[in-house]
Amino acid sequence: MAVENAKEFLQEKLDKDNFSKLSAIANDKLYQFIADAVELTKPAKVFVSTDKPEDIEYTRKQSVATGEEKPLKIKGHTIHFDGMEDQGRDREVTKYLVPQNETLSKALNQIEREQGLKEVRGLLAGAMQGRIMVVRFMTLGPNNSEFSIPCVECTDSFYVSHSMNLLYRLGYEEFKRLGAKAKFFATLHSCGKMSDRMVSVESDKKRIYIDYTTDSVYAVNTQYGGNTIGLKKLALRLTIRKADREGWLAEHMFLAGIYGKGGRKTYLAGAFPSACGKTSTAMLPGETILGDDIAYFRNVDGKCKAVNAEFGIFGIIQNVTEKDDPAIWDMLTKPGEVIFSNVLIKDGKPYWLGMGIDIPADGENYSGQWTKGKKDAKGNEIPCAHKNARYAVALDALKNCDPELDNPKGVDLAGIMYGGRDAKSYVPCQQGFNWEHGIVAYGASLETETTFATIGKEGVPEINLMSIQDFVAISLGKYVKNNLDFGKKFKNPPLVFGVNYFLRDQDGKFVNGVRDKHVWVKWMELRIHGEADAVAAPTGLIPKFEDLKKLFKEVLKKDYTQANYVNQFTIRVKENLDKIDRVEKFHREHVAEAPAEVFKVLAAQKKRLEEAGKKYGDFISPFDLDKK
């Protein structure tokens, strides 16, 4: 809310040094936001962080001094715990503030704007009394680039501030450069009441509200990074609206550089819901990682250019092993700046689920002092670490960090993949017949099961359109149309692929090995360069057996049999027809302004499946489709 004479108000409230740092940015809208945050939350002190090493070091030290983090045995490693009820993105209390005369998709949580502002600001009132408010300036996308978006966050959590050091690019100098021209996103966050363990305790009063009319986010009574680091998925919601206005795309995708013949490097993007293989695909051994979560795409001189919105990884640590994730494992077990969250700590060492080594029977975790068999208030056994336990690290700490990470011009994007948890229908890897088919059949049809990364019941099948559904603050139909239209801007748009690491056979066993994904990605690289053939299946173009046999030997040093191929690439007609029915129903019921192209593509796929089913039966061997 408006504070009269905001700059003068801040001069009264801030000490001379911090006011000097703030006043070096000539932006009245910024002064107004920070003045309102100070007046509302009433902190004891305000610390304005610049890009200088001493300011960054202050946040790092304070995160430990306040008790929000504790040092671990390996130099630079710390542990942070969130509360028992604050272990993931909370869909129920994350809402859009929608003015009375507007509506968003029924699939999105929303509340009338004035009502929501009154509620969340009431919870934030006086929330920082006795604490330090940290003012952080960061950017989404590389600095000094047409891709970059300046962002400011006011928080009373040094853990949140420390996380931003690792996950985003410092933006104080960018704000100074832009001055009054800076059109920024703003976040106000408070942990609320905290326990002796420095954990938010009033989870029943947790609120994360997004005001897209002012590009602002409010978060209170939570510490979990996905709810509090405003530049993560909260800002993605705002970025999607900005991209919609300006004709580009903001996507929930990783970016990776995949090597091919003669040392060439090809950039691919991928959208996967949480815990569906996104980070592990972005981190394939021997390739490079440009980003693991959020990417921006623009048409630059007729080329599809992409950048990573972020600078670090806030990654799920469950099932990270030395064998399957060597690059991540190396980073997590050597000196360097890493923040672990919600893992088990014993003698200064972190342990997580699926680590591949023996786990101690006691230690400290997110529940407090833990021993095997400990139960929560509902009588459920508490695991040693949470399924959604995380690590935060800067990308340049990884040996395989792509050198183009900070390139303000971005990289050429050649391929896009979509993947979810689909136990019954889609094959492990396939290519769209064209841009429209790929966007609809793999992106707008992306089906998955709910996982531990979002609070609520796990294992529930749902459509998660483009793996971005929760974050789309425009109509879902408009978002799909923007994707369809974007590809039409290019003479040769990126190829679109569908992947599915979670297909099961008739006995319920996964048909994919954990590392098979590397083969699928190498096949995509060959397809992009016209160096691999494909078989036309009803649902897309699938790999030929001979190419996979060669790739499995080259990439994984494994023999690949005809039986493997049949098990993985048999087309299940009934299951795929059922999938189309679910997808069509979802789009008719939940997607306002659903483009006609969606139903056209789905109808054509349905027809191909029905005709193939009549010819070959309910289970179609890929060898039948490959007959000359």
Q: What is the pLDDT of residue 308?
A: 97
d(CA 41, CA 131): 10
Q: What is the pLDDT of residue 457?
A: 53
Task: Point out the catalytic residue in the list 151, 154, 191, 276.
Answer: 276
Q: Does domain 417-625 have CATH number 3.90.1150.10?
A: no
Q: What is the pLDDT of residue 174?
A: 96
Of 69, 59, 62, 79, nearest to 317 by C-alpha is 79
Domains in the chain: boundaries? 6-67+86-246, 314-397, 417-625
Triad 87, 125, 49: Cα angle to 5°: 70
β strands within 372-479, DSSP E: 390-394, 411-419, 429-431, 447-449, 461-463
> Do residues 196 and 368 lie in contact, with contact meaning Cβ atoms separated by under 8 Å?
no
d(CA 343, CA 79): 8
Q: What is the pLDDT of residue 385?
A: 95
> Do residues 529 and 495 lie in contact, with contact meaning Cβ atoms separated by under 8 Å?
no
Tokens describing residue 131: 């604490």
3-state secondary structure of 469: helix
CATH code for the domain defined by 6-67+86-246? 3.40.449.10
Q: What is the pLDDT of residue 77?
A: 98
Phi and psi torsions of 433, nearest 5°: -65, -30
Pick 314-397's CATH classification: 3.40.50.300, 3.30.365.10, 2.170.8.10, 2.40.30.10.
Answer: 2.170.8.10
d(CA 186, CA 34): 9
d(CA 484, CA 414): 16
State yes or no: is 191 an active-site residue.
Answer: no
Q: What is the pLDDT of residue 452?
A: 46
Q: What is the pLDDT of residue 455?
A: 47
> Do residues 163 and 229 lie in contact, with contact meaning Cβ atoms separated by under 8 Å?
yes
Residues 6+ apart with CB under 8 A from 338: 76, 77, 78, 331, 332, 391, 392, 393, 397
Q: What is the pLDDT of residue 225?
A: 86
pLDDT, averaged per 10 consecutive residues of the chain (628 residues), comes to: 87 96 97 97 98 97 97 98 80 90 81 96 98 98 95 97 96 96 96 93 93 95 88 87 96 97 97 84 92 95 96 91 87 96 97 94 95 92 94 94 97 97 93 98 89 51 87 90 96 97 91 93 98 97 97 96 97 96 93 93 98 96 86
Tell whether the torsion through CA atoms of 610, 614, 618 and 622 is positive or negative.
negative
pTM comes to 0.92
Q: What is the pLDDT of residue 453?
A: 46
